[in-house]
Structure formats: structure tokens, C-alpha cells
Amino acid sequence: MIDSKHIKYFEKLLPKDFVFSESGDCWAYGYDNSKMHVIPDCVLFADNKEQIKNIISYCYKNNLPITARGRGTGNTGGSVPTDNSIVLSLEKMNQIIEINTKDKLSIVQPGVINKDLQTELQKENFFWGPDPSSQEYSTIGGNIANNSAGPRAIKYGTPRDNILGLEFISGTGEIYKTGVKTSKGVVGLDLTRLFTGSEGILGIMTEATLKITPLNNAIRTIEITFNNITDASETIIKLMTQPDVPYKLEFIDSEAIILINKIKKNHYSDEAKYAVLLEIDGDIDYIEFAQQKIIKVIKSNKYNSISVASNKKEIENLWSARKSLSPALREIGKYKINEDIAVPISNLAKLLKGLEDISKKYTIKMVNFGHAGNGNIHVNLLFDTVKEKESEKSKKCLNDIFDLVLNLDGTISGEHGIGIIKKEYIVKEIDKKTLDLMKNIKKQFDPKNILNPNKSI
Ligand SMILES: Cc1cc2nc3c(=O)[nH]c(=O)nc-3n(C[C@H](O)[C@H](O)[C@H](O)COP(=O)(O)OP(=O)(O)OC[C@H]3O[C@@H](n4cnc5c(N)ncnc54)[C@H](O)[C@@H]3O)c2cc1C
């Protein structure tokens, strides 16, 4: 419980309405998309870095744990305050400070919503690579802290590939600046990329210098179906290892196809067991040529059908099948565990086969789809009741899935991070010695362990 004297201090320090301490007001700042909910004792807002510096310095002096929060869309409890402590909401730090197209960079505060930045950049014919599906709600700060990315990552990368520098405040209340404003730079250790993906445990980000990219003016969407997983994965490998890499490449497994066909009235034929939906981008003057090249690559392997969409209506129709999947999952299971594992793409077929075996072994329904160009598959375990979801059987099933993924040289999280939800599994992937090194690094940034304690490592 946060002592009332601390709340009084914050009320003096910050403008009116920048401190919530009534549980009704704090309620909405205690959960994220993991469905965990711990009501914080106090929620603080800040609209400049000096306020944040003063907040953290005070927390450091008084040993008060504090959790940064963007918009609480994370999937792993990263912004949930495990110990009813203080939540620091960055939502008022929402200024786009600079868009500099000559140097291909943009400087933003952490609370800027991803989509708002993309809208401003689009006016200049630019974009920022990372496009998580939550981009209409999630913040750049949350995207960087979780290294979150979406379908475009296969060509345009994750935040780690699209960040030049950062400003952050450490667990002692000191302000640090990292990185460069140039597209090259090798001076000192790369703290920018260490911070990116660190889930709020190393510091509070107050500013980010992002690498931005010119927009292409034409796209083509192609849907391919296959009779078996070997053909599908061979084609994915071929597509990803030639120069004209698609900028989106989504995979849909046989269970997902059955589900889509129920909702979208036989979108796929009976022979279609697996599908790949890809998009290429390029200049209007040579997109036709790029499309022909991609189709040649696809036809060099076995496939079942190919559909090409070039106008808005056709493109929307192809994507609507993929987009119908998440809501459709509720049709076959009210409760789900959604994992975001990734494997090297050469192991995709083995992964899918292994998942099928695990699903049969535990008689747990599984639907798999996702960003196959990165080998990043969303594995959805579906249950009729919450009791089944939380049962020993489902835990064992999850354990087997992680073992399978790690045996295939993969990772237990391709994009959602560890937070609280996956913390018990991190030792499966990272050995003790390396984990201890990481913990010692955290101590340098946050000696009293006040920043988002009990999360990630
Ligand atoms: C419908 C939906 C779709 C999604 N799709 C995707 C997807 O396609 N790809 C994907 O990767 N994820 C996806 N996610 C997960 C989530 O949206 C991302 O993790 C997102 O980046 C979180 O942003 P946020 O602003 O909501 O951050 P929050 O959830 O508030 O916080 C996430 C983490 O960042 C830390 N943090 C936030 N701001 C700061 C800061 N300024 N300084 C330091 N630490 C900070 C928090 O402490 C926390 O650990 C999805 C979620 C939903 C609900």
C-alpha cells in the first residue's frame, strides 16, 4: 500500500488531475490484454521529462516500485503493477516533435499512438516500419519496450531495426541519451537496441528517434493454397530467399481454413489444406513486373491455386478471410491461450507437424496462423471452459509446445515478450549464466529494482 504522504508529495509535484489515488479511477490502469488485473494504489501522469525525472528520483529515494504504461494493449501483463504499486501513464507525452524526411528520421514522445504517427508520415509519403495489429491503440513507447511488430516486419523489420536513438530516465532518476541521428554509427555500446524490447525494466523512455522509410505507391496481393504443409513451407522458403521479398506473408493452417470456410461460405476449395496470403509493394511503374517474378517463384513449386488482387475491393476480399480468423476462434472455443512462438522458416513444416501431434496427444483444439515469413506462428489453444484453460493438461501441452519450438532452434516469443505471463518459461530458453548477466545489467540501470519489478528476466 502506498503511504498517503507519498501521494501528497506527487499531488504537490504534478499539475492538477495528474494523480489518481481513488481505486475507481485507478481501476482502468490495472490491466492489459493478458486479462490480468491488479488495481494500482496510485496512477501518475506526466507531460514532460522533468516531471518523470522528479517522480523516479522520489521513487528511488523511497524504494517505491513503479510501472510504465503506454495504452495497456500488451499481451503479457507487462504494464500490470504486480504489487498494487504506482503506474506511470505516458499517454500525455504524445507529441510528434520532428519529421525530417531529408535525414529519414522522426523524433517522438513515447505516448504517440502508432497510427497517429503513420498518418502524419503518410502526408510526407513516408512510414515507420513496425505495424502491430494494435497500431490504432498502442503507443510507440509500448511498441519499442516490447519490440512489437506486425506483418510488415518481414521486409521492413521490428522496432530494433527502425530506431536510431533514445532518451530515457534510469531507476535512479538520471536522464540518458543513446544512439545517433545518422544511418551509420558505432561509437560506444549499443544501448538503444539493448533498451528496445526490455519491457520497461531498464528505464522510462521519454523520447525516441525513429528511422522512417519512403512509401511505395503500389501493392499487389496474392493468395496461394496448397495440398500439404511441405509444399507450403517450401514455397515460403523460396519466396523469402529471393531478392523481391514480399512485405507481408501470412500463413493459415488447415484448422483455420475449415473455420474460415464456415464463416466466409467456402472461400477456399475442398482441396485447399494450407494457405499463404502475401503482399508485394513497389513503384507503380514496375509492380506488374515484380508480380510476374513472384508468380514465377510460386509456380516453380507445387501449389493448389493462385489468386491475384490488384484493386481495393479484391484486396479487401482476400484479407477479409484472414481477418475473420481471430473473431471466428470464439466459435470453437470460448477461452484461448494465444502463443506467439517463432522458428527458423526452414523448420516450419516440422513445427506444424509437431503441433498436430501435440494437439492429438492432449485432445486440445489448436488453430495456427501468423507471420510465416518470420517463422512467427500464433498457436491458439482453444477451450470450452476456463477450468480447462487453467488445467494441468493445458500447462503440460504448453510445455510440450515450448520444448518443440526450442528443439527446432526457435524462440518462445516472437513479438509479445515475456512480461509476467511467460516469466516461468524464460529459463527454458536462456541459461542461468546468461540470465544472471542480464540481471546484473538491470542492476546498473535500476539498482533498487523499482522499475517494473517481477517482469521479464
Ligand atoms: C488487438 C491486439 C492486437 C495486437 N497485435 C500485435 C501485433 O500484431 N504484434 C505485436 O507485437 N503485438 C501485438 N499486440 C500486443 C501489444 O499491442 C503490443 O505489445 C504493444 O506494443 C503494446 O503497446 P502499449 O502502448 O499498449 O503498451 P503497454 O501494454 O502499456 O506496455 C507494454 C510494455 O511496455 C512498457 N512501456 C510502455 N511505455 C514505456 C515507456 N515509455 N518506457 C518504458 N517502458 C514502457 C510497459 O511497462 C510494458 O512492459 C496486440 C494487442 C492487441 C490487444
What the chain holds in terms of domains, given with CATH numbers, is: 4-89 (3.30.43.10), 96-214 (3.30.465.10), 218-324 (3.30.70.2190), 333-429 (3.30.70.2740)
Would you say the CB of residue 167 lies under 6 angstroms from ligand 1?
no
* 393-415 tens-digit pLDDT: 999 999 999 999 999 999 999 99
Tell me, in angstroms, the distance from the centre of ligand 1 to residue 142's CA.
4
Amino acid at position 431, single letter: D
Per-residue pLDDT tens digits for 312-343: 899 998 888 888 888 788 878 889 999 999 99
Tell how far the Cα of 218 is from the centroid of ligand 1, in angstroms.
Answer: 30
Ligand 1 centroid to Cα of residue 416, in Å, is 8
Contacts for 133 with CB less than 8 Å, ≥ 6 apart:
150
Residue 139 near ligand 1, beta carbon < 6 Å: yes
- C-alpha of residue 138 to centroid of ligand 1, in Å: 6
- Give the nearest ligand 1 atom to 151 CA: 8
Over the Cα atoms of the chain, what is R_g? 23
Q: pLDDT per residue over 197-239, tens digit each?
A: 999 999 999 999 999 999 999 999 999 999 999 999 999 999 9
Query: Which residue's CA lies nearest to atom 37 of ligand 1?
Result: 142
User: Per-residue confidence at 266, pLDDT binned at 50, 70, 90?
Assistant: confident
Tell whether the torsion through CA atoms of 265, 268, 269 and 270 is positive or negative: negative
Q: How far apart are the first and last CA of the chain?
A: 25
Candidates 75, 92, 156: which one to mutate for ligand 1, based on the most atoms within 8 Å of Cβ?
Answer: 75
Q: Cα(201) to centroid of ligand 1, in Å?
A: 14
Q: Is 171 in the pocket of ligand 1 (CB under 6 A)?
A: no
Question: What average pLDDT does the chain have?
Answer: 95
Round to whole Å and give the CA distance between 321 and 200: 36
How far apart are alpha carbons 42 and 419 in whole angstroms?
A: 21
Q: Is 338 exposed, middle or buried (0-12, 13-18, 19+ CB in 10 A)?
A: middle
Q: How far is the CA of 13 from the centre of ligand 1 (A)?
A: 28
- The DSSP-derived string for 148-183 is ---TTHHHH--GGGSEEEEEEE-TTS-EEEEE-SSS
142 pocket-lining for ligand 1 (C-beta < 6 Å)? yes
In the chain, pLDDT over 90 holds for what percent of residues? 90
Q: Would you say 209 and 193 are in contact if contact means Cβ atoms under 8 Å apart?
A: no
Burial classification of residue 310, based on how many CB atoms lie within 10 Å of its CB (0-12 exposed, 13-18 middle, 19 or more buried): middle
How deeply is 163 buried, as exposed, middle or buried, from its count of CB atoms within 10 A (0-12, 13-18, 19+)? buried
Q: Please state, in angstroms and rounded to a whole number, the distance separating the CA atoms of residues 45 and 63.
A: 19
215 contacts 126 by C-beta, under 8 angstroms: yes
**Angle, nearest 10°, between helix axes 254-263 and 325-332?**
90
Is the pTM higher than 0.85? Answer: yes
* Residue 88 near residue 94 (C-beta atoms within 8 A): no
